[in-house]
Every structure is written in structure tokens, then in C-alpha cells.
Structure 1
């Protein structure tokens, strides 16, 4: 039976891979991103919106999301890395932009999802939410905040499984930037990233769907690193 999937950040990277994965399973996919992906499929319903416009999310997206009625999985995938630089050289405004997109936009989306029947909500987190690596301050703080946001909402969304999921390292423009542009003598975490296993987005999408089949094994509100299960 066809199921409804909601994916934010659906135009590239993991979001695009998840979109194509579920369309190939004949699911109905509702996508939100700034740019429309090159997808021509009757089961793909797209809404263009920049989630960094926090104050407009409920005004612009409430009707679109509420019209879905029954959502099997909502993937809160949209996010940004921010600059890799020393914390002492990082301005509050820079950190705020990352935090607003990675945390507050998802807060607004969770408020909308709370009003409709949503079975699973998967917020894409990161191992960086647990590891204090030099240079990653904006991203790490925001993903740690996302983990706590998920934990808090799990106490209110009692009929929904809410999970913060770290999918592992994926080949995306973000990781390409780190591997190609960041000086790994200064930021040693980049050296680890370059030496480690990097998944293709399509591989990560399949692993995430395999996780969904086991989602009932995990407590709502949990942070799960897919590499550790």
C-alpha cells in the first residue's frame, strides 16, 4: 500500500536520495526545498520554500503539510554546516544562522506535524552532536540542540515515534567542502573524515529505510547513530 513521506531539503544530497528511493517504492513523496529537483513523477508533490525564513514557516507551510493528513515518515533533513573555523573567530550572527535553520525551523515544522497523524518523525542529526571537534562549533551546537528538541517533543507527541538519527558520513557538497577545502593540519577532524568511509547518498537512503523497519526497537526521543546498530 502506498504511504506518504515528507522530506525537507529534497533537492540535493541525502534528501534527494531519500526522495528518489521512496518514489521508486511507489510511495507518495511531499518535498520541501528552495529549489525543485529534476524529478518528473506523478507521486512527487513539491513546495518551494526557504526554511531559513523561520517566521514564515507556519504561514507558508501549514496548509501544504496539513493537507497530507496521514504521514508515515517525516524526514527533517534540511540543514547547513556553517563555516569550519576556530570558535574564538566565529561570530554570534554566523552561529545563529546555523542554529536557526538546524533547530528552530524544525521546531516550527514539528508544531505543524503535531496537528496531523504522523507515525514517524526522523530528524537528521550527526555524530558531531556528540563529538566536540575543533572547527565544528556552529554545526555541533545546532545538532546537539536538535537532539534535545527531539527528546522534548517526544514527551508531547505521544502517538508519534520521534528520533534524532545520525546517518554516518555521506558524499554531499558539505562533505566535499570539508575534504577538499579544509586544512586538516589545523582541523584534525577533517583528516579523519578524509580517511574514513564515505557513503553515496543512495546507500545512506537504503540504510535509513532499513532502520525504519526497526524503529520500534528504539525509544521515542532517542539519538541513534546508524553506524552503531
Structure 2
């Protein structure tokens, strides 16, 4: 019997790479994103949905998710960066937009998953959840909140292993924006990204797959940075 994987944000970047990897390994993959990836596979099942519409998540996605019945691994991968700028210049509504997708959408999804037999939930976090770098206000607030969200659900979803995992820097349009469009004299963290390790999404997916083989070494609700393993 093929194991079931649920991936949000499956149309590009790490989500797409994870989708392809798990399909290659013989899993059934259930994907949710705003647009359908160019994947035609008998074991790929897709639901088009914009997760920023948090008030509609339980209405639109409950049936799709609960019909899976038993899920081996969930990747809460969908997310957004928000604009890199000084926090004194960030409006509350800008922060709220990022929090809606990166935190509150996942809260709605976790409520659904808590009703199912779900073995493992991975929230895609970031080193930014621990580092208060100038310019990363919305993203850092959202990812630190995601870490705590998973920690709190771990206290109630006792039969599920929940982990917040920072996969390292991945080559995506998001990181391209930081590396090429941001003034690294003003926002020095951009300089670190330009000069540091950067992975292709496929390499990051394989790395994450290997890390999950050791998931029992970590307490449910933990934050893991793959670069520190």
C-alpha cells in the first residue's frame, strides 16, 4: 500500500521538488497550491486553492484532506516572504498578510489534520525565525510564530510528530529577490545570502527526506535547522 503525502505550495520551489521526489519513491502525493504544477502522474492528486483565503480553508479543503484518511507526512510548505524593509516602515496590514499565509492558514490546516491519523507534520520554517535580521520583520515574525504553533499543537496531537524544519537557503524567486534586488549595505543579511551556501530545490528536498529518517531523535514540537545536523 502506497503511503500518502500532503504538500502545500506544491507548484514551485521546494514544494514542487518534494512532490516529484515522493512520486519517484512510489508515494501518493496530494498537493494544494494556487496553480497546478506540470505533473501528470497516476499517484498525484491536486486541489487548486489560494491558502491566503484563510476563512475558506475549512470549507474548501476539509473534504479533500479528510478523504485521504491516513497521512504519512504533511509538508506545510506554502508561504511568502513579504517585502524586505525596515520594520518602522512596515504597515500592520503588510505584516498581517504574511502572517495569514505563513501562520493562520497552517492553523486552519492543523485543525483538519488533528481529526485524522497523521503520522508526521513538517512546517517549513527558517533560520529567520531565530535571527532578528534587519528588514525581515514580517517573515521573521511569521516563522517564529509557526515554530510556536507547531510546538503548541504537539501538546494536543499526541499521536503525531510535529517538527518545524529550516531547510537552509534554497534557490527560488524569493531568494533571488533578496540576493539581487536588495541593497546589502542597508540590509546586511542579504550579503550573507549572496556569499553563503545555496541549494537547488531538488537538493533541499533530498536533504529534508534524509533528515526525516532521524525524526524520532527529536521531540515533537521541536525546531530543527538542517545546517546544524
Where does residue 183 of structure 1 map in the other structure?
183
Q: Secondary structure at the match of 1:38?
A: coil
- After superposing on structure 2, the runs of 4+ consecutive aligned residues of structure 1 that deviate more than 2 Å are none
After superposition, the C-alpha distances for 1:74-100 in whole angstroms (9 at most, x for unaligned) are: 000000000000001100000000011
Aligned positions of 1:108-127 closer than 5 A:
108-127=108-127
Q: Secondary structure at the match of 1:59?
A: helix
Where does residue 69 of structure 1 map in the other structure?
69
**Alpha-carbon distance between aligned partners in 2 of 1:174 and 1:152, rounded to the nearest angstrom:** 28
1:115, distance to aligned residue in structure 2 (A): 0.5
Where does residue 17 of structure 1 map in the other structure?
17
1:137, distance to aligned residue in structure 2 (A): 0.2
**Alpha-carbon distance between aligned partners in 2 of 1:221 and 1:125, rounded to the nearest angstrom:** 12
Where does residue 223 of structure 1 map in the other structure?
223
After superposition, the C-alpha distances for 1:84-135 in whole angstroms (9 at most, x for unaligned) are: 0000110000000001110000000000000000000000000000001000
Q: Secondary structure at the match of 1:88?
A: helix
**Alpha-carbon distance between aligned partners in 2 of 1:172 and 1:115, rounded to the nearest angstrom:** 34
Q: Secondary structure at the match of 1:32?
A: strand
Q: How many residues align?
A: 229
**Alpha-carbon distance between aligned partners in 1 of 2:179 and 2:221, rounded to the nearest angstrom:** 32
Q: Secondary structure at the match of 2:120?
A: strand
**Alpha-carbon distance between aligned partners in 2 of 1:173 and 1:35, rounded to the nearest angstrom:** 16
**Alpha-carbon distance between aligned partners in 2 of 1:99 and 1:208, rounded to the nearest angstrom:** 24
In the alignment, is residue 157 of structure 1 matched against residue 157 of structure 2? yes
1:26, distance to aligned residue in structure 2 (A): 1.2
**Alpha-carbon distance between aligned partners in 2 of 1:150 and 1:164, rounded to the nearest angstrom:** 7
Where does residue 212 of structure 1 map in the other structure?
212
1:2, distance to aligned residue in structure 2 (A): 1.8
**Alpha-carbon distance between aligned partners in 2 of 1:217 and 1:26, rounded to the nearest angstrom:** 25
**Alpha-carbon distance between aligned partners in 2 of 1:72 and 1:148, rounded to the nearest angstrom:** 22
Where does residue 200 of structure 2 map in the other structure?
200
Where does residue 58 of structure 1 map in the other structure?
58
After superposition, the C-alpha distances for 1:40-59 in whole angstroms (9 at most, x for unaligned) are: 10100000000000000000
After superposition, the C-alpha distances for 1:174-208 in whole angstroms (9 at most, x for unaligned) are: 00111110010110000000000100000000010
Where does residue 82 of structure 2 map in the other structure?
82
**Alpha-carbon distance between aligned partners in 1 of 2:67 and 2:173, rounded to the nearest angstrom:** 32
1:217, distance to aligned residue in structure 2 (A): 0.5
**Alpha-carbon distance between aligned partners in 1 of 2:165 and 2:153, rounded to the nearest angstrom:** 15
Q: Tell me the TM-score normalised to structure 2 length.
A: 0.99
